[in-house]
């Protein structure tokens, strides 16, 4: 059964219409400067996002887009590469030639070594020349799509060269790509380095999951509908499952992934962000500090998992060879570039508790893995059974718990499962589902996450970006688990077949609470 919105006015189809004050985002003309422009992220995500924003009229005409990388490259060659990326990866294909030509006229490339302080004086001069040519005011949004080890030196050099200076009402901001450290101490050190050269209001730590439409809609769903928030607590909720499942393996990222593992790559940031949005209290206002204050409270309320509890409350594993997507695939240790003695986890599950008044006694089960049976990201809130069952015998056997599911990808939407009577004289019960689907209800494809986040950063809205204390609170929970796994070596490292839903140890983890994983 599908829930659809009827006769939505055409104006409301605009995915960015509206903000906390009821108006659309006000975006000043600026220079968007992408460090690491020769990387995959720029071609696959950032330029397609900027193209779509331009197509929708959200980038003021004088805005300049500047790619920065070490390799010398003529502007026309850079434009050709970016057009290829838009044609291949934009949600709107093929590219609109007129729209592309307009964007290409404002697209430039500057060769610079972002680890060399001397290069920044040349970068400043070249950027000022581009801004003068395009009529762009000196508002600057620097996107650091570069390896983590270069983040601090890049911000230091941006500051020393005056590129981060603010004057005469103009602004400068920096978007920092994850990972934000590899553990609590490195995250604290990175935050200290960032805040040495830039204010917290200038720093935008990006987690693209927060730009996904369903993630944003979670707050609206909770706080703009009077029927859900009263039951969003330990009195009515039995447990919560958060799943990020991928069917792919390491896919050429062996060097990065084997150092990170799925816990650092997905759970510490994406999954804990989803948990904090599910569990947070209503903010006093929908603005950056108020929302993030409540998220930090949730992360600080996570009950620490002691060393003696790690093997009971967590599961980790590596995928073995098997079949995935109709193809035979190798195991993790057989992947090119993976050391044969690696203990890096490709799957992790955690049973956690939020120690506060609202969620006391409600378990949260988190899991993420590669080479699983299906690609899916979802939040499932399972409610408690009715206190007294009126229906017995065969009717009772078909009763299932009510489940509210927020599907983040693919097929973005929200569904509610409840029990209904099958037509006929006998009391035969059957679970049914009501669905809300973005594509069906609004008639437009949801914008990509990077579109919303780039727009917000250009507008100075940091609500959907992570704050320094938020990052450190998440690492405070995760780091002791990682440290214990490291000390255990292979002692508790399980395996699972490619194309399955994970290891037996994860099934045992949730079964100890009398529950089972959903097959999403």
CA Rg value for the chain: 24
In DSSP terms, which residues pair with 173 in a beta bridge? Answer: 141
- Measured at the alpha carbon of residue 400, what is the angle toward residues 399 and 404, in degrees to the nearest 5? 140
Nearest to 500 by CA among 347, 349, 358, 288: 347
Phi, psi of 276 (to 5 degrees): -65, -35
Tokens linked to 495: 């395996």
Q: Is the peptide bond before 272 cis (omega within 30 degrees of 0)?
A: no
Tokens linked to 106: 């404002």
Question: Catalytic: 351?
Answer: no
* Buried residues in 430-461 as b, exposed as e (16+ CB within 10 A): eeeeebbbbeebbeeebbbbbbbbbbbbbbbb
**What's the distance, CA 247 to chain centroid?**
17
C-beta of residue 411 within 8 angstroms of C-beta of residue 442: no
C-beta of residue 349 within 8 angstroms of C-beta of residue 512: no
C-alpha to C-alpha distance for 307 and 2, rounded to whole angstroms: 46
C-alpha to C-alpha distance for 363 and 121, rounded to whole angstroms: 54
In the block, which residue shows the tokens 């070594």?
A: 113
C-alpha to C-alpha distance for 93 and 80, rounded to whole angstroms: 16
Q: Residue 262 in 3-state DSSP?
A: helix
Nearest to 348 by CA among 502, 491, 235: 502
Tokens linked to 123: 């970068």
Tokens linked to 53: 């924003």
Tokens linked to 326: 């109709």
Residues 6+ apart with CB under 8 A from 169: none
Q: Is the peptide bond before 410 cis (omega within 30 degrees of 0)?
A: yes
Catalytic, out of 108, 208, 239, 270:
270
Pairing status of strand 429-437 against strand 2-3: parallel
C-beta of residue 33 within 8 angstroms of C-beta of residue 138: no
DSSP string, 267-318: IIIIIHHHHHHHHPPPPSSSSHHHHHHHHHHHHHHBPP--GGGHHHHEEEEE
Residues with a known catalytic role: 270
């Amino acid at each position: 059964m599908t829930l659809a919105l009827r006769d939505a006015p055409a104006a409301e189809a605009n995915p960015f219409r509206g903000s906390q004050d009821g108006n659309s985002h006000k975006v000043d003309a600026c220079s968007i400067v992408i460090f690491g422009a020769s990387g995959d992220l720029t071609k696959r995500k950032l330029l397609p996002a900027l193209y779509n924003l331009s197509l929708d009229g959200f980038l003021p005409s004088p805005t300049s887009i500047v790619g920065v990388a070490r390799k010398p490259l003529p502007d026309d060659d850079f434009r050709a590469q970016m057009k290829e990326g838009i044609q291949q990866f934009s949600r709107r294909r093929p590219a609109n030639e007129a729209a592309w030509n307009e964007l290409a006229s404002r697209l430039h490339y500057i060769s610079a070594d972002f680890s060399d302080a001397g290069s920044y004086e040349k970068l400043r001069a070249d950027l000022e020349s581009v801004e003068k040519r395009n009529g762009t005011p000196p508002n600057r949004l620097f996107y650091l799509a570069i390896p983590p080890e270069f983040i601090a030196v890049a911000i230091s050099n941006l500051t020393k060269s005056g590129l981060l200076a603010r004057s005469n009402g103009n602004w400068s901001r920096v978007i920092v790509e994850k990972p934000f450290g590899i553990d609590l101490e490195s995250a604290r050190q990175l935050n200290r380095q960032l805040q040495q050269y830039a204010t917290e209001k200038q720093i935008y730590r990006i987690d693209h999951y927060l730009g996904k439409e369903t993630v944003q809609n979670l707050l609206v769903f909770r706080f703009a509908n009077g029927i859900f928030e009263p039951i969003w607590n330990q009195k009515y909720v039995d447990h919560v499952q958060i799943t990020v499942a991928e069917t792919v393996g390491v896919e050429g990222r062996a060097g990065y992934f084997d150092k990170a593992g799925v816990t650092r790559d997905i759970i510490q940031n994406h999954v804990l962000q989803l948990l904090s949005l599910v569990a947070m209290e209503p903010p006093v206002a929908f603005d950056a500090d108020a929302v993030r204050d409540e998220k930090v409270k949730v992360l600080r309320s996570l009950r620490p998992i002691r060393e003696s509890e790690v093997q009971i409350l967590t599961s980790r594993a590596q995928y073995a060879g098997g079949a995935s997507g109709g193809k035979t695939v190798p195991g993790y240790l057989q992947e090119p570039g993976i050391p044969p003695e690696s203990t890096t986890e490709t799957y992790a599950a955690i049973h956690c508790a939020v120690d506060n008044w609202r969620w006391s006694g409600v378990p949260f089960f988190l899991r993420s893995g590669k080479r699983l049976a299906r690609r899916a990201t979802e939040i499932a809130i399972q409610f408690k059974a009715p206190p007294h069952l009126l229906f017995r015998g065969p009717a009772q056997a078909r009763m299932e718990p009510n489940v509210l599911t927020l599907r983040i990808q693919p097929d973005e939407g929200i569904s509610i499962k409840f029990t209904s009577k099958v037509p006929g004289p006998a009391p035969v019960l059957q679970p049914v589902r009501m669905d809300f689907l973005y594509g069906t209800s609004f008639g437009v494809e949801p914008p990509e996450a990077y579109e919303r986040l780039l727009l917000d950063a250009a507008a100075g809205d940091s609500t959907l970006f992570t704050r320094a204390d938020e990052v450190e609170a998440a690492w405070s929970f995760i780091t002791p688990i990682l440290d214990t796994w490291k000390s255990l070596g292979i002692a508790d490292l399980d395996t699972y077949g490619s194309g399955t839903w994970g290891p037996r140890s994860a099934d045992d983890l949730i079964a100890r609470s009398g529950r089972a994983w959903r097959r999403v």
